[in-house]
Structure 1
Amino acid sequence: MKNFLNPILSVLSGLLLAFAWPTNGFVGLLFIAFIPLFIAHYRLNKTAVKAVKWKVFLHAYLTFFIWNIITTGWLYYSSAFGMWFAVLVNSLLMALVFLVYHLVSKKVSSFTSSSFFIAIWLSFEYLHLHWDFSWPWLQLGNGFSESVSWIQWYEFTGVFGGSLWVLVVNTLLYNAWLQYSSRKENSVSTKGITIRYGIPALLIIALPISLSHFLSINSITNDVEGTEVVILQPNIDPYSEKYDISNSQMAENLMTLAVDSITANTKLIIAPETTLASGMRLTGINGNPALNRIKRFLFDYPNTYYLGGVSLGDSFKNKDKATSQTNYIKNGDFYYNDYNSAVFMNSTNPVELYHKSKLVVGVENFPYKNVLQPILGDVMLDLGGTVATKTTQEDREVFITRDSLKVAPIICYESVYGEYVTGYVNNGAQFLSIITNDGWWQNTQGHKQHLSLARLRAIETRKWIARSANTGISAVINDYGKIITVLGYEKKGALKGTIYPNNKITFYVKHGDFIARVSVFLMLGIFLFSFTRRGVMKRK
């Protein structure tokens, strides 16, 4: 049985992480999820004679594979290869993080090694927000997205505050077990360990929750005039039907959905990502028949604007105009830029555009294209959607109505990135719109988790959210992360709601992921110290 105990502990950690995850899990399990893996690591260090590093790596990989496959296995419904690539590679990266922790832990004290594990895990999460293979879906702080009453303090820390919370409690409780095990093994009294470790752990869990409830006292909307929005959910099959309908017909369908809900007080109609999917030419956007159809509809509603998704293209022969995001067609010997964009317009003004800039790996961007394309060719991972490199823009666009209402046009995957979304708010956004297409993964946890993550953005920025999802879940979310009204999965229709724009700037909006940046410096400091100060510190 002893030979199987370490794998069992690794499996247990993986299951605890998975069963803590939204939207069906109990998030409290996150506070103990790493402890079985830590214990397996301790046992391997103590009993293994050969290949300890490989055994530590494999046990960690088992844990993180279970977590990844259970929580993100829904990617299979858009691409089997894409799912296996995401699960296997992300598990590999997590296991490598744990392996580095193992190497450092052999050279420093238990307190320093615990600090290093916290710092390197947060650094890993930070890397996953910024490199070309970005996949932050399993950031630990995201696990609280269904328990918003616990994490109202995200307005100060963002999601990294939740990750830090989880890691601190896990390492504290593991060190309690370590002390208990050591004393028991040496026939030393174990009295006082519960008080020394248990009470601090309970306080670390309870105090943030208490602070969150205190902050929630102010969650009642003030006497601010609400803004009426109409959110459209056409429920078009993204794999077939979406691309069989012309842009003009889709525009007609959208206005048919809107007509029963729109009033003279409606300020904004919001439609999903790439609703107008048959690529329009960027240069002819203002004369496009489908957009002109929407404009004609808006003539009867002069105070109403339309915000919706559209696919745009721009082709050319001049090689000098090409960038690293430009696609090249060999057969036709021409270049083109492909855009996943949001359009914003009323009945009279020219169309305004925002181009999606946080892209889905392998679907909308070619990671490290200059390095990998000569090796792999034009291979792209089909995780759902148009398979081509997208062209982005530098700034976070904020659309402004004639009566100075400022809205952020967040497109799909962008809503997973906390600090990225603060860019819209720093540019003046008074509320957030999220336009997405969540039908790629069928009726799985995928679209439910995506909606749930939007609740975190509301808390971090203290902004209301109007979310339009084709074949997903459309919703209005208040600035405390509470879902006010919802149109469910596979429901076709229009959702009328009221949002309350504001000019609040939270601490997190001002300072972003400061916890992660501090963690990077701490991680590098401990790492360098552990390998340059040989023999100075001994394991306790």
Structure 2
Amino acid sequence: MDKRDLILSTTSGALLSLAFPPLRLGFIAYGALVPFFSLFPHSKHKDALLCGFVTGLCFNAGTVYWICWPTLAGGLFSFFFLSLFFMLFALMLNLAIRSWGTKGFLFAPFLWTAIEYLRSFGQLAFPWTLLGNTQTEYTRLIQFASISGVYGISFWVVTINLCLYSLLRHATLKRGRVGERLFHVLVVILILLFIIPYIYGNRVIPKERLEGEVKVAVIQPSIPIDVKWAPEGVTVSFSTLEQMTIRACSYRPDLVIWPETATPCYLMRQGEYRMRLHNFCDSLNVPILTGSPDYDFQTGRFYNSAFLFMPGKREVQGYDKIHLVPGSERMPFSDTFPFLKKFAFRAGDFSAGKRFTVFQHPKGRFSTLICFESIFPELARQFALQGAQFLVNITNDAWFGRTSGPYQHAEIAVFRAIENRIAIARCANTGVSMFIDPYGRVSGATPIFTSRILVDTLPLRREETFFTRHGNLFSKVCVALSGIALVWVVVSGTRKIRELW
């Protein structure tokens, strides 16, 4: 790896990180991979691996550095682990280009999308930094996510990068008339890559504001972590939330939402606090959804849960978080290797929920995504299939501090709305709280670390998108095609591949 390779690798990594929130520079993603593509082909695969690692390390250190805020060890592990996927992409792309020449670059969008999709599986799943997530500001360009999901947006962005790279490459080479024709074809393709999504988005997004059917009040109490989990934390939390809820009820909401672990106690197991919330709910005559830890005395299992209290009823509807944060709520592979539990941040030993709960409310059915569950397209899709008419995302992003983490987390939810044409109410302890309509349009986004009350009327889901019906079909096609191409390359050039190491 020479100096040129190092410069190009770090440049691509840095540009990719700049395209993510809170900076509104998503357009940088359209050319961020051009320096990276300029590195290929490599004479040796180990050089391609090294370039992939450097690019991934720069990208992840610049994007998810905030993981170091609560846990330095977890942050450093994330930088290196997530960089492995860049190494895989670089190696596979180099294999294709060495086997098929410049035509191998056509493999890039399929391979990138396949790797992103596979990253969403397993105990270390973390599809946070998907390339498509850089595009949440451009709602008119990303409406086809209702067909392809966010992974289709990533495919689109990589294709734009590939067109730009090809244009720059042909502009610096003299190739006669054939080269000129190809250059013009690439220009037309690049223009169409923007025009077609824009026309589609302009056609499907209604010009008027959607008529709301359920009025929701979101409470952002902004209670610091050290206060919430202190001995007096339960008293402070209840007092703050109750006062803000009383003020919110002047708007006559149909539902009040408190954030993740809003009640820092075992709400359902401690009768004093459970009755307090029941009585408070009855006195206001309004349903309250709250996040709370939970504990099952029979199994000895802990859960990160959400509970819906309905006025006049003692039955409480509940949901246990299904996707747990690795290293925080659950140490990956700790069932097989119990000693790993001692390395968990916050001594997390939660159990994953099993049920896709749909809360029953007189004005509309809804489901709850707790914390980083909003980054998983399939989970939101399953709730929609189960009959949810709107979604709620409750979270406590105070752990991230004043970093880019809360902003990135909030923006990701835009795609869950578009993919399923479903409205979302987002409630965060310290922000960002906001409302998202079924077309990804955000309203009422709050500053972080401030107390806020948001009230808006959400529309109920009326249609079932292609994505809701068929899921990540596009991504699965990319995985299949990438697998076939990889087998072809390996089988047809095994001897040559050995030489390139």
Q: CA deviation at 1:248?
A: 5.2
State which of 164, 184, 189 in structure 2 corresponds to 1:195: 184
Once the two structures are superposed, the pairs formed by residues 39-50 of structure 1 within 5 Å of their partners are 39-42=38-41, 44-45=42-43
Distance 1:249 1:25, change over 3 A: closer
Matched residues in 1 for 2:145 and 2:295: separation? 38
Q: Is the 8 A contact 2:294 2:304 kept in 1?
A: yes
For 2:75 and 2:251, the matched residues in 1 are separated by: 46
User: Is 1:341 the equivalent of 2:340?
Assistant: no
CA distance in 2, matches of 1:379, 1:271: 31
Greater Cα offset, 15-24 or 81-90: 15-24
Report the alpha carbon displacement of residue 273 of structure 1 after superposing the two structures with TM.
0.2
1:452-484, Cα deviation, whole Å (9 max, x unpaired): 112222222222211111012211222222222
2:157 and 2:355 map into 1 onto residues whose CA distance is 33
Match of 2:80 among 88, 95, 107: 88
| Alignment partner, residue 72 of structure 1 | 64
CA distance in 2, matches of 1:536, 1:387: 50
Alpha-carbon displacement from aligned partner over 1:516-536 (angstroms, at most 9, x marks no partner): 111111111111111223499
Structure 2 match to 1:27: 26
Report what 2:444 is aligned to: 485
Task: Please point out which of 344, 351, 356 is paired with 2:321.
Answer: 356
Secondary structure at the aligned position of 1:410 is classed as: strand
Structure 1 residues 535, 127: CA separation in 2 closer, same or farther (over 3 Å shift)?
Answer: closer
**Offset, 1:87:** 1.1
- Choose from 141, 144, 151 the match for 1:150: 141
Alignment of structure 1 residues 64-213 onto 2, 5 Å: 64-111=56-103, 113-179=104-170, 184=174, 190-213=179-202
**Conserved 8 A contact 2:281-2:309:** no
Aligned to 1:48: none
- Output the amino acid matched with 1:21: F
Say yes or no: does 1:53 pair with 2:45. yes
What aligned pairs does 1:86-485 form with structure 2 within 5 A after superposition? Answer: 86-111=78-103, 113-179=104-170, 184=174, 190-216=179-205, 218-222=206-210, 224=211, 226-247=213-234, 249-263=236-250, 265-280=252-267, 284=269, 288-302=271-285, 304-316=286-298, 336-349=300-313, 350-373=315-338, 376-382=339-345, 386-401=346-361, 403=362, 405-485=364-444
Deviation at 1:244, TM superposition (A): 3.1
The secondary structure found in structure 2 opposite 1:251 is helix
Structure 2: stretches of 5+ with no match in the other structure: none
Structure 1 CA distance, aligned partners of 2:420 and 2:161? 28
CA offsets 1:252-274 (integer angstroms, 9 cap, x no match): 33111111120484211100001
Structure-2 separation of matches of 1:394 and 1:291: 23
Give the Cα–Cα distance (whole angstroms) in 2 for the partners of residues 225 and 450 of structure 1: 25
Encode CA deviations 1:157-196: one digit per residue, 9 max, x unaligned.
2101111101222223334455556x54x88974333202
Letter in 1 for 2:70: S
Q: CA deviation at 1:91?
A: 1.2
Aligned counterparts of 1:472 and 1:535: Cα–Cα separation in 2: 53
CA distance 1:519–1:470, shift in 2 (3 Å): same
Aligned residues: 496
Which residue, 445, 469, 479 being the options, matches 1:510? 469
Deviation (angstroms), 1:107 = 2.0
Provide the C-alpha distance between the structure 2 equivalents of 1:210 and 1:84, rounded to a whole number of angstroms: 43
Deviation of residue 426 (structure 1)?
0.9
Report which stretch shifted further, 137-146 or 207-216.
Answer: 207-216
What do residues 481-506 of structure 1 show as CA deviations (whole Å, max 9, x unaligned)?
22222332111242222222233211
Give 2:115's aligned amino acid.
F
- Give me the CA root mean square deviation: 2.5
Q: 1:394 to 1:3 in 2, by over 3 A?
A: closer
1:363 Cα deviation from its structure 2 partner: 1.0
Q: Distance in 2 between matches of 1:8 and 1:258?
A: 53
Provide the secondary structure at the position in 1 that maps to 2:119: helix
Counterpart-to-counterpart distance in 2, 1:377 and 1:535: 39
- Classify the secondary structure of the residue corresponding to 1:24: coil
SS of the residue corresponding to residue 261 of structure 1 reads: helix
Instruction: Give the deviation of 1:430 after TM superposition.
Output: 1.0
The TM-score with structure 2 as length reference comes to 0.92
Aligned partner letter, 2:328? V
Contact 1:458 1:477 in 2 (8 A): yes
Contact in 1 for aligned 2:319/2:355 (Cα 8 Å): no
Using the TM superposition, name which of 340-349 and 168-177 deviates more. Answer: 168-177
Tell me the distance in 2 between the aligned counterparts of 1:90 and 1:10.
16
Cα separation, 2, equivalents of 1:211 and 1:291 = 49
Distance in 2 separating the partners of 1:242 and 1:405? 34
CA–CA separation in structure 1 for the residues paired with 2:342 and 2:131: 31
Distance, in Å, in 2 between the alignment partners of 1:14 and 1:517 is: 26
1:448–1:108 distance in 2 versus 1, CA, 3 Å: same
Q: Letter of the aligned partner of 2:195 in structure 1?
A: A
Query: Mean Cα displacement is larger for which, 159-168 or 56-65?
Result: 56-65
Alignment partners' CA distance in 2, 1:152 and 1:219 = 14
SS at structure 2 position matched to 1:490: coil
Structure 1: how far apart are the matches of 2:47 and 2:176?
Answer: 30
| CA shift in 2, pair 1:534/1:495, >3 Å | closer
Secondary structure at the aligned position of 2:431 is classed as coil
Percent identity, please: 25
TM (normalized to structure 1)? 0.86
> Is the 2:92–2:486 contact (alpha carbons within 8 Å) kept by the matching residues of 1?
no
SS in structure 1 of the partner of residue 325 of structure 2: coil
Matches of 2:334 and 2:84, distance apart in 1 = 22
Q: What is the CA-CA distance between 1:14 and the residue it aligns to?
A: 1.4
Label 1:76 to 1:225 Cα distance change in 2 as closer, same or farther (>3 A). closer
Take 1:210 and 1:135, find their aligned partners in 2: how far apart are those partners? 32
When residues 128 and 3 of structure 1 are mapped into structure 2, their CA distance, relative to the original with a 3 A threshold, is closer
Contact 1:473 1:487 in 2 (8 A): yes
Over 3 Å counting, the alpha-carbon distance change for 1:387 and 1:178 in structure 2 is same
Contact preservation (8 Å) 2:433, 2:446 = yes
Aligned to 1:5, what secondary structure does the other structure show? helix
Structure 1 runs not aligned, ≥5 long = 46-51, 322-335
Looking at structure 1, the residues matched to 369 and 34 of structure 2 have their Cα atoms a distance apart, in angstroms, of 37
